[in-house]
Amino acid sequence: MAADELAYVDAVGQADLVRSGTCTPADLVEGAAARIRRLNPLLNALVHESLERAMEEAQRTALPDGPLRGVPFAFKDVLGQTAGDPYHAGMRLLQQRRWTAQHDSYLAADLRRAGLVFVGRTNVPELAGSVTTEPLAYGPTRNPWSTGHSAGGSSGGSAAAVAAGLVPAAHGNDMGGSIRLPASQCGLVGLKPSRGRTSTGPDFNDYWSGSTHEGVLTRSVRDTAAFLDVMAVPHPGDYFVAPPPSASFSALMAREPGRLRIGLRTDLPGSGRPAHPDHVRAAESVARLLEDMGHRLEAAWPGALDEPEVETLQYQLIGVAFARELDRWGEVLGMPVTADDVEPNTWRFAEMGRPLSAAAYVEVQEKVQAHGRRLSSWWTEGYDLLITPTTSDPPPAIGLLAPLAVQPPRLSRDLTAFLRPWNITGQPAISLPMAWGETGLPVGVQLVAAYGREDLLLQVAHQLEQASPWRDMRPPGLD
């Protein structure tokens, strides 16, 4: 099979080709490498390539015989450390020091055992702190659907790599929308799992005050289920462990969900501003489609979404996380990290967090957690899912939200308004590529379920994928 034909076969499909003997792991890696060499200079999705080593691993008979054996895969360059590989987190400071990871994260080790072949690490904004991937260290990642636009953040490099067919799936993590936002902007499936479903160990437990969720970006719902089966493994010391599913997520995905009660909201939490018309139409179209399938739709949502102070509280916690990150890297490198070592927004976040005393930090956590309980209680009132647009607006132009730009008021916060609440509650939420706007750019629709109910999200996502398939949609001009 030609490399460009393989490029849009999903990860499960590629693993099936290896299992049947139609392709070898080396065939898959060779195809991915050829496409990376051709397209990555245009997109800047991968910032560290390990193609020669990947080919050596693919040719080894000792490659683990896991469910995804031989499939090329890329890691986001924040968390997901892979032993001996560069780890820069979008920071010029680490780039200049040529810092490398000392060990695999638990997640990386799980994915190695599944038989994946790691081909490189993807671009990120500095310390995952932006809704666009345009770090000063490595420059902007470009959206494969329109190279003048952002691929989103902070998993923008991973999203661009998957959307362009460089790899069939890539690692991402979601602290405030960082899987779902780039999935929406690049036309992909992006699941933020439940808190505790995947591990951030061994280095961290409650990274960013418990708001961080490890996952992947894919082109199909079955890929998302298959990766979740691999990643949903408790590890020693994990603070949070989500309740185990009754069967594999791949098996649960194929089951009928029954008749569901589903809420719909299309104006921005907190402000009440309507989302962009393309995004409203996409969410309403999904609602009608689910209603046609027999589900019950209502204009309903958790009232706590509009509580006014939570946004400020959430950003205070982010500020503390950034302050700790800079202090931690200072300890690791044996030098203080100063304002000259990082981007202006990174330093601004850290300075926002430093004045909080320990007691004030705990108070903010308590208030945010109480807000989360009020949010999640809506699902105890008989509701199964909530539908929203994934983002408020289309992907911004490259440069609009860049580190040194004068940024439009509130755009960054508005882009994540539908996303951040579920990092507080730890509930699973998925973005699906259900529409393309008038400009030809993808538009995602988000589904949110109760804690631990990834099975329900996957079942409904599978229904939508069958009713309105997106897998043949490809960015123009890349083949």
Decide: 205 and 160 in contact? Cβ < 8 Å: no
- The model carries a pTM of 0.97
- Which residues does residue 118 pair with via DSSP β-bridges, in sequence order? 73
The residue written with tokens 């005050």 in the block is 209
Residue 5 CA to residue 477 CA, distance in Å, equals: 15
**C-alpha dihedral (141, 175, 201, 366), degrees to nearest 10:** 160
Q: For residue 1, is pLDDT > 80?
A: no
Decide: 137 and 91 in contact? Cβ < 8 Å: yes
Q: For residue 465, is pLDDT > 70?
A: yes
Write the DSSP symbol of residue 273. P
State the pLDDT at residue 3. 65
Q: Which of 150, 154, 155, 211 is catalytic?
A: 154
Q: Is 178 a catalytic residue?
A: yes
Q: Rounded to 5 degrees, what are φ and ψ at 110?
A: -60, -40
Q: For residue 68, is pLDDT > 70?
A: yes
SS3 449: strand
Per the document, the length of the chain is 479
SS3 190: strand
- Which residues does residue 296 pair with via DSSP β-bridges, in sequence order? 261
DSSP structure string for 214-230: EEEEESSHHHHHHHHHH
Decide: 214 and 80 in contact? Cβ < 8 Å: yes
pLDDT digits over 418-462, tens only?
999 999 999 999 999 999 998 899 999 999 999 999 999 999 999
For residue 153, which of 192, 186, 125, 191 has the smallest C-alpha distance?
A: 125
pLDDT digits over 284-324, tens only?
999 999 999 999 999 999 999 999 899 999 999 999 999 99
Please, which pLDDT band fits residue 2 given cuts at 50, 70 and 90? Answer: low
Q: Rounded to 5 degrees, what are φ and ψ at 100?
A: -125, 150
Residue 168 CA to residue 231 CA, distance in Å, equals: 17
Angle between helices 51-59 and 25-43 (to 10 degrees): 170
Q: Which of 50, 130, 158, 178 is catalytic?
A: 178
Q: Residue 261: is it exposed, middle or buried by C-beta count within 10 angstroms (0-12/13-18/19+)? A: middle
Contacts of 272 (CB under 8 A, 6+ apart): 306
Decide: 461 and 385 in contact? Cβ < 8 Å: no
Residue 335 CA to residue 160 CA, distance in Å, equals: 34
pLDDT digits over 145-182, tens only?
999 999 999 999 999 999 999 999 999 999 999 999 99
